[in-house]
Amino acid sequence: MSNALEINAISKQYNGKPVIQGMSLEIKKGEIGCLLGESGCGKTTVLRCVAGFEPIHTGWIRINGMRVSGPGICVSPENRQLGMVFQDYALFPHLTVEKNISFGLDRLSKIERDWRVKEMLGLMDLEGDAKKFPHEISGGQQQRVSLARALAPNPELLLLDEPFSNLDETLRERLCSDIRNILKKLGTSAVLVTHDQREAFAMGDIIGVMRQGGIEQWGSPYDLYHRPKTRYVADFVGEGVLLQGRVTAADEVNTGLGTLRGPLPFPYPKHRLVEVLIRPDDILYDANSPLKATILEKRFRGANILYVLRLQTGEKIQALFSSHHNPVVGQSIGIRPHLDEIILFEAAEK
Protein backbone atom coordinates (compact mmCIF):
# COMPACT_ATOMS: atom_id res chain seq x y z
CA MET A 1 0.00 0.00 0.00
CA SER A 2 1.42 3.42 -0.98
CA ASN A 3 1.66 6.35 1.39
CA ALA A 4 -0.62 9.36 1.47
CA LEU A 5 1.94 11.30 3.50
CA GLU A 6 5.67 10.87 4.07
CA ILE A 7 7.66 13.15 6.35
CA ASN A 8 11.40 12.53 6.41
CA ALA A 9 13.75 14.09 8.97
CA ILE A 10 12.21 17.55 8.80
CA SER A 11 13.25 20.43 11.01
CA LYS A 12 11.79 23.88 11.47
CA GLN A 13 13.05 26.91 13.37
CA TYR A 14 11.58 30.23 14.42
CA ASN A 15 14.13 32.99 15.04
CA GLY A 16 16.85 30.38 15.45
CA LYS A 17 14.83 28.37 17.98
CA PRO A 18 14.12 24.75 16.90
CA VAL A 19 10.41 23.87 16.89
CA ILE A 20 10.59 20.59 14.93
CA GLN A 21 13.72 18.47 15.12
CA GLY A 22 14.44 15.61 12.70
CA MET A 23 10.88 14.34 12.63
CA SER A 24 9.75 11.46 10.38
CA LEU A 25 6.48 9.59 9.89
CA GLU A 26 4.37 7.81 7.26
CA ILE A 27 0.60 7.61 6.81
CA LYS A 28 -0.76 5.06 4.37
CA LYS A 29 -3.56 5.77 1.92
CA GLY A 30 -6.92 5.51 3.62
CA GLU A 31 -5.31 5.78 7.04
CA ILE A 32 -6.12 8.37 9.73
CA GLY A 33 -3.03 9.53 11.58
CA CYS A 34 -3.02 11.71 14.70
CA LEU A 35 -0.41 13.99 16.21
CA LEU A 36 -1.07 14.08 19.95
CA GLY A 37 0.72 16.28 22.41
CA GLU A 38 0.75 19.13 24.87
CA SER A 39 0.56 22.78 23.81
CA GLY A 40 3.88 23.97 22.40
CA CYS A 41 5.17 20.53 21.36
CA GLY A 42 5.17 21.47 17.66
CA LYS A 43 2.19 19.48 16.38
CA THR A 44 0.39 22.42 14.73
CA THR A 45 3.66 23.57 13.17
CA VAL A 46 4.00 20.13 11.56
CA LEU A 47 0.51 20.48 10.11
CA ARG A 48 1.34 23.95 8.77
CA CYS A 49 4.48 22.57 7.12
CA VAL A 50 2.46 19.77 5.50
CA ALA A 51 -0.11 22.33 4.32
CA GLY A 52 2.61 24.51 2.78
CA PHE A 53 2.00 27.48 5.09
CA GLU A 54 5.51 27.14 6.50
CA PRO A 55 8.78 26.20 4.74
CA ILE A 56 11.00 23.54 6.31
CA HIS A 57 14.72 23.91 6.95
CA THR A 58 15.82 20.30 6.44
CA GLY A 59 14.30 17.03 5.25
CA TRP A 60 11.38 16.60 2.85
CA ILE A 61 7.61 16.03 2.71
CA ARG A 62 5.76 13.95 0.12
CA ILE A 63 1.98 13.89 -0.42
CA ASN A 64 0.72 10.97 -2.49
CA GLY A 65 4.24 10.41 -3.78
CA MET A 66 4.83 14.02 -4.86
CA ARG A 67 7.58 15.92 -3.08
CA VAL A 68 5.98 19.18 -1.93
CA SER A 69 8.60 20.47 0.56
CA GLY A 70 12.35 20.10 0.70
CA PRO A 71 15.59 21.84 -0.26
CA GLY A 72 14.60 24.43 -2.86
CA ILE A 73 11.00 23.10 -3.01
CA CYS A 74 7.86 24.57 -1.47
CA VAL A 75 4.72 23.81 -3.47
CA SER A 76 1.97 26.33 -2.71
CA PRO A 77 -0.93 25.16 -0.47
CA GLU A 78 -3.49 25.35 -3.27
CA ASN A 79 -1.42 22.94 -5.39
CA ARG A 80 -0.99 20.25 -2.74
CA GLN A 81 -4.45 18.69 -3.21
CA LEU A 82 -5.28 19.13 0.46
CA GLY A 83 -8.45 19.73 2.44
CA MET A 84 -8.31 21.58 5.74
CA VAL A 85 -10.69 21.72 8.71
CA PHE A 86 -9.95 24.34 11.34
CA GLN A 87 -10.79 24.78 15.01
CA ASP A 88 -12.96 27.86 14.33
CA TYR A 89 -14.82 26.33 11.31
CA ALA A 90 -13.73 29.29 9.05
CA LEU A 91 -17.13 29.43 7.33
CA PHE A 92 -18.28 32.45 5.31
CA PRO A 93 -21.07 34.00 7.40
CA HIS A 94 -22.75 35.65 4.40
CA LEU A 95 -23.03 32.37 2.45
CA THR A 96 -25.57 29.60 2.97
CA VAL A 97 -24.52 26.09 3.90
CA GLU A 98 -24.67 24.89 0.28
CA LYS A 99 -22.77 27.94 -0.96
CA ASN A 100 -20.04 27.37 1.67
CA ILE A 101 -19.68 23.77 0.52
CA SER A 102 -19.52 24.73 -3.17
CA PHE A 103 -16.96 27.51 -2.60
CA GLY A 104 -13.93 25.49 -3.76
CA LEU A 105 -15.64 23.80 -6.72
CA ASP A 106 -15.31 26.54 -9.35
CA ARG A 107 -13.48 24.21 -11.73
CA LEU A 108 -16.54 21.96 -12.03
CA SER A 109 -19.50 22.58 -14.28
CA LYS A 110 -22.70 23.77 -12.59
CA ILE A 111 -24.28 20.32 -12.93
CA GLU A 112 -21.22 18.60 -11.46
CA ARG A 113 -20.97 21.23 -8.69
CA ASP A 114 -24.64 20.88 -7.72
CA TRP A 115 -24.35 17.09 -7.70
CA ARG A 116 -21.23 17.20 -5.49
CA VAL A 117 -22.84 19.63 -3.01
CA LYS A 118 -25.94 17.43 -2.82
CA GLU A 119 -23.72 14.40 -2.20
CA MET A 120 -21.87 16.19 0.62
CA LEU A 121 -25.11 17.42 2.22
CA GLY A 122 -26.38 13.84 2.31
CA LEU A 123 -23.13 12.46 3.64
CA MET A 124 -23.10 15.00 6.49
CA ASP A 125 -26.83 14.70 7.24
CA LEU A 126 -27.33 18.37 6.34
CA GLU A 127 -30.00 18.11 3.62
CA GLY A 128 -32.49 20.15 5.64
CA ASP A 129 -29.97 22.91 6.32
CA ALA A 130 -28.78 23.70 2.79
CA LYS A 131 -30.42 27.16 2.65
CA LYS A 132 -29.49 28.18 6.20
CA PHE A 133 -26.65 30.50 7.14
CA PRO A 134 -23.90 29.44 9.59
CA HIS A 135 -25.38 31.42 12.51
CA GLU A 136 -28.65 29.51 12.09
CA ILE A 137 -27.15 26.07 12.78
CA SER A 138 -25.39 24.50 15.77
CA GLY A 139 -21.63 24.27 16.36
CA GLY A 140 -21.64 20.59 15.49
CA GLN A 141 -23.50 21.29 12.23
CA GLN A 142 -21.08 24.12 11.41
CA GLN A 143 -18.16 21.72 11.80
CA ARG A 144 -19.92 19.26 9.48
CA VAL A 145 -20.24 22.04 6.90
CA SER A 146 -16.53 22.81 7.30
CA LEU A 147 -15.73 19.13 6.77
CA ALA A 148 -18.05 18.90 3.76
CA ARG A 149 -16.36 21.93 2.17
CA ALA A 150 -12.92 20.40 2.73
CA LEU A 151 -13.96 17.03 1.28
CA ALA A 152 -15.96 18.34 -1.68
CA PRO A 153 -12.91 18.79 -4.00
CA ASN A 154 -11.90 15.17 -3.22
CA PRO A 155 -8.49 15.98 -1.66
CA GLU A 156 -5.59 13.54 -1.53
CA LEU A 157 -5.14 14.32 2.19
CA LEU A 158 -7.35 15.96 4.81
CA LEU A 159 -5.75 18.04 7.59
CA LEU A 160 -7.74 18.61 10.80
CA ASP A 161 -6.41 21.19 13.27
CA GLU A 162 -8.04 20.74 16.71
CA PRO A 163 -11.45 20.55 14.96
CA PHE A 164 -13.50 19.58 18.03
CA SER A 165 -12.09 21.87 20.72
CA ASN A 166 -15.00 24.35 20.56
CA LEU A 167 -17.62 21.64 21.11
CA ASP A 168 -18.99 20.20 24.34
CA GLU A 169 -17.80 16.75 25.42
CA THR A 170 -20.89 14.78 24.37
CA LEU A 171 -21.06 16.39 20.92
CA ARG A 172 -17.29 16.04 20.51
CA GLU A 173 -17.44 12.30 21.13
CA ARG A 174 -20.32 11.78 18.70
CA LEU A 175 -18.74 13.94 15.99
CA CYS A 176 -15.41 12.11 16.33
CA SER A 177 -17.17 8.84 15.62
CA ASP A 178 -19.24 10.28 12.76
CA ILE A 179 -16.27 11.91 11.04
CA ARG A 180 -14.14 8.79 11.34
CA ASN A 181 -16.94 6.75 9.74
CA ILE A 182 -17.31 9.29 6.92
CA LEU A 183 -13.57 9.32 6.18
CA LYS A 184 -13.44 5.53 6.18
CA LYS A 185 -16.46 5.34 3.88
CA LEU A 186 -14.77 7.71 1.43
CA GLY A 187 -11.32 6.14 1.86
CA THR A 188 -9.88 9.59 2.63
CA SER A 189 -6.47 9.83 4.28
CA ALA A 190 -6.25 12.32 7.12
CA VAL A 191 -4.01 13.90 9.74
CA LEU A 192 -5.59 15.08 13.00
CA VAL A 193 -3.81 17.40 15.42
CA THR A 194 -5.12 17.33 18.98
CA HIS A 195 -4.10 17.64 22.63
CA ASP A 196 -6.98 15.37 23.68
CA GLN A 197 -6.05 11.70 23.79
CA ARG A 198 -9.70 10.61 23.76
CA GLU A 199 -10.10 12.32 20.38
CA ALA A 200 -6.88 10.75 19.11
CA PHE A 201 -7.93 7.27 20.27
CA ALA A 202 -11.44 7.67 18.83
CA MET A 203 -10.22 8.89 15.43
CA GLY A 204 -6.78 7.52 14.76
CA ASP A 205 -5.55 4.33 13.14
CA ILE A 206 -2.05 5.39 14.11
CA ILE A 207 -0.94 8.04 16.60
CA GLY A 208 2.26 9.95 17.22
CA VAL A 209 2.87 11.25 20.73
CA MET A 210 4.88 14.43 20.26
CA ARG A 211 7.35 15.99 22.67
CA GLN A 212 9.66 18.95 22.14
CA GLY A 213 9.42 18.93 18.36
CA GLY A 214 9.80 15.20 17.82
CA ILE A 215 7.77 12.00 17.98
CA GLU A 216 8.25 10.07 21.19
CA GLN A 217 6.33 7.05 19.85
CA TRP A 218 4.43 6.34 16.62
CA GLY A 219 2.03 3.42 16.87
CA SER A 220 -1.50 2.10 17.23
CA PRO A 221 -3.73 3.25 20.12
CA TYR A 222 -3.30 -0.23 21.64
CA ASP A 223 0.49 -0.04 21.55
CA LEU A 224 0.61 3.46 23.01
CA TYR A 225 -1.57 2.39 25.93
CA HIS A 226 -0.32 -1.15 26.57
CA ARG A 227 3.21 -1.02 25.11
CA PRO A 228 4.61 2.47 25.71
CA LYS A 229 8.26 2.64 24.72
CA THR A 230 9.22 5.51 27.00
CA ARG A 231 8.40 6.71 30.47
CA TYR A 232 6.96 9.92 28.95
CA VAL A 233 4.44 8.02 26.80
CA ALA A 234 3.49 5.78 29.73
CA ASP A 235 2.77 8.86 31.83
CA PHE A 236 1.10 10.93 29.09
CA VAL A 237 -1.26 8.30 27.66
CA GLY A 238 -4.04 7.01 29.88
CA GLU A 239 -3.91 6.67 33.63
CA GLY A 240 -1.71 4.56 35.86
CA VAL A 241 1.35 4.51 38.09
CA LEU A 242 4.91 3.22 37.99
CA LEU A 243 5.36 0.70 40.80
CA GLN A 244 8.80 -0.11 42.19
CA GLY A 245 10.04 -3.62 41.48
CA ARG A 246 13.08 -5.86 41.26
CA VAL A 247 13.75 -8.39 38.51
CA THR A 248 13.99 -11.87 40.08
CA ALA A 249 14.16 -13.99 36.91
CA ALA A 250 14.24 -13.56 33.14
CA ASP A 251 10.44 -13.15 33.06
CA GLU A 252 9.64 -12.32 36.71
CA VAL A 253 9.58 -9.10 38.69
CA ASN A 254 8.79 -8.75 42.38
CA THR A 255 6.53 -5.81 43.34
CA GLY A 256 4.13 -4.64 46.02
CA LEU A 257 1.51 -6.62 44.08
CA GLY A 258 3.58 -9.80 44.47
CA THR A 259 5.59 -11.58 41.78
CA LEU A 260 4.46 -10.71 38.27
CA ARG A 261 5.34 -12.94 35.33
CA GLY A 262 5.59 -11.67 31.79
CA PRO A 263 4.95 -13.56 28.53
CA LEU A 264 8.46 -12.67 27.30
CA PRO A 265 11.89 -12.21 28.92
CA PHE A 266 12.58 -8.71 30.23
CA PRO A 267 15.39 -6.56 28.78
CA TYR A 268 16.90 -6.23 32.27
CA PRO A 269 19.22 -8.56 34.23
CA LYS A 270 18.33 -10.32 37.47
CA HIS A 271 18.32 -8.09 40.59
CA ARG A 272 17.93 -4.87 38.53
CA LEU A 273 15.69 -2.26 40.18
CA VAL A 274 12.88 -1.29 37.80
CA GLU A 275 9.50 0.43 37.67
CA VAL A 276 6.45 -1.47 36.47
CA LEU A 277 3.60 0.24 34.63
CA ILE A 278 0.28 -0.55 36.32
CA ARG A 279 -2.89 0.65 34.59
CA PRO A 280 -6.21 0.90 36.51
CA ASP A 281 -7.65 -1.93 34.40
CA ASP A 282 -4.73 -4.19 35.42
CA ILE A 283 -6.24 -4.52 38.92
CA LEU A 284 -9.23 -6.77 39.61
CA TYR A 285 -11.55 -6.68 42.61
CA ASP A 286 -11.34 -10.03 44.43
CA ALA A 287 -12.91 -10.29 47.87
CA ASN A 288 -11.18 -13.66 48.48
CA SER A 289 -7.68 -12.50 47.55
CA PRO A 290 -5.04 -12.48 50.32
CA LEU A 291 -3.59 -9.33 48.73
CA LYS A 292 -5.23 -6.36 50.44
CA ALA A 293 -5.27 -2.62 49.74
CA THR A 294 -6.83 0.34 51.52
CA ILE A 295 -9.10 2.74 49.64
CA LEU A 296 -7.79 6.32 49.82
CA GLU A 297 -10.01 7.99 47.18
CA LYS A 298 -12.87 7.08 44.85
CA ARG A 299 -14.10 8.91 41.76
CA PHE A 300 -17.49 7.90 40.41
CA ARG A 301 -17.58 7.57 36.60
CA GLY A 302 -21.01 6.11 36.02
CA ALA A 303 -20.52 2.49 34.97
CA ASN A 304 -17.14 2.42 36.76
CA ILE A 305 -15.44 3.91 39.80
CA LEU A 306 -11.77 4.87 39.77
CA TYR A 307 -10.12 4.06 43.12
CA VAL A 308 -6.82 5.23 44.55
CA LEU A 309 -5.50 2.38 46.70
CA ARG A 310 -2.63 2.08 49.17
CA LEU A 311 -0.77 -1.22 49.13
CA GLN A 312 0.76 -2.80 52.23
CA THR A 313 4.13 -1.47 51.05
CA GLY A 314 2.73 2.08 51.30
CA GLU A 315 2.76 2.56 47.53
CA LYS A 316 -0.31 3.91 45.74
CA ILE A 317 -1.99 2.44 42.68
CA GLN A 318 -5.21 3.10 40.76
CA ALA A 319 -7.95 0.58 40.03
CA LEU A 320 -11.08 0.74 37.90
CA PHE A 321 -13.95 -1.39 39.21
CA SER A 322 -17.57 -1.77 38.17
CA SER A 323 -19.82 0.60 40.11
CA HIS A 324 -21.77 -2.47 41.28
CA HIS A 325 -18.90 -2.79 43.77
CA ASN A 326 -19.14 0.19 46.10
CA PRO A 327 -16.68 -0.11 48.99
CA VAL A 328 -16.07 3.04 51.01
CA VAL A 329 -12.98 5.18 51.59
CA GLY A 330 -10.86 3.70 54.37
CA GLN A 331 -12.05 0.14 53.73
CA SER A 332 -9.56 -2.66 53.09
CA ILE A 333 -10.43 -4.74 50.02
CA GLY A 334 -9.05 -7.77 48.25
CA ILE A 335 -7.40 -7.18 44.87
CA ARG A 336 -5.64 -9.25 42.25
CA PRO A 337 -3.26 -8.09 39.48
CA HIS A 338 -4.08 -9.23 35.96
CA LEU A 339 -1.55 -8.00 33.37
CA ASP A 340 -1.48 -9.37 29.84
CA GLU A 341 1.81 -7.56 29.22
CA ILE A 342 4.36 -6.27 31.70
CA ILE A 343 6.08 -3.01 30.80
CA LEU A 344 9.25 -2.18 32.72
CA PHE A 345 11.38 0.93 32.86
CA GLU A 346 14.73 1.31 34.55
CA ALA A 347 14.19 2.75 38.03
CA ALA A 348 14.47 6.53 38.13
CA GLU A 349 17.28 7.95 40.18
CA LYS A 350 16.11 9.27 43.54
pLDDT tens figures, 44-56: 999 999 999 999 9
Same-domain pairing of 249 and 230: no
pLDDT confidence of residue 264 = 86
**Mean pLDDT to the nearest integer, 224-231:** 94
pLDDT confidence of residue 350 = 55
Local confidence band at 334 (pLDDT 50, 70, 90 cut-offs) = very high
Same-domain pairing of 208 and 333: no
Q: Which of 211, 234, 257 is the last residue of a domain?
A: 234
Is residue 303's pLDDT more than 80?
Answer: yes
Is residue 202's pLDDT more than 80?
Answer: yes
Same-domain pairing of 172 and 262: no
Q: List Cα–Cα distances, 21 to 58, 117, 146, in angstroms.
A: 9, 41, 32
Is residue 33's pLDDT more than 70?
Answer: yes
pLDDT confidence of residue 13 = 92
Q: How far apart are CA 171 and CA 176, in angstroms?
A: 8
Is residue 272's pLDDT more than 80?
Answer: yes
CATH code at position 55: 3.40.50.300
Q: How far apart are CA 126 and CA 135, in angstroms?
A: 15
Higher pLDDT pick, 2 / 150: 150
pLDDT in tens, 74-119: 999 999 999 999 887 789 999 999 999 999 898 889 999 999 999 9
pLDDT confidence of residue 329 = 96
What mean pLDDT is reported for the chain? 93
Same-domain pairing of 192 and 253: no
pLDDT in tens, 56-71: 999 999 999 999 999 8
Same-domain pairing of 229 and 270: no
Q: How far apart are CA 163 and CA 20, in angstroms?
A: 22
Same-domain pairing of 56 and 165: yes
- With 0.75 as the threshold, say if the pTM is over it: yes
Higher pLDDT pick, 1 / 117: 117
Q: How far apart are CA 30 and CA 187, in angstroms?
A: 5
Question: Which H or E run contains 219?
Answer: strand 214-219
Beta bridge partners of 219: 207
Q: Which of 175, 210, 234 is the last residue of a domain?
A: 234
**Mean pLDDT to the nearest integer, 182-190:** 93
Q: Which of 213, 234, 255 is the last residue of a domain?
A: 234
Is residue 1's pLDDT more than 60?
Answer: no
Q: How many domains does the chain have?
A: 2
Same-domain pairing of 203 and 271: no
Same-domain pairing of 169 and 69: yes
Same-domain pairing of 219 and 99: yes
Q: What's the half-sphere exposure (Cβ side, CA atoms, 13 Å) at 58?
A: 10
pLDDT confidence of residue 170 = 80
Same-domain pairing of 143 and 178: yes
Find the domain containing 224 and state its range: 3-234
- Which burial class, exposed, middle or buried, applies to 217 when counting CB atoms under 10 A from its CB (0-12, 13-18, 19+)? buried
Is residue 72's pLDDT more than 60?
Answer: yes
Same-domain pairing of 72 and 113: yes
Same-domain pairing of 285 and 340: yes
Is residue 349's pLDDT more than 80?
Answer: no
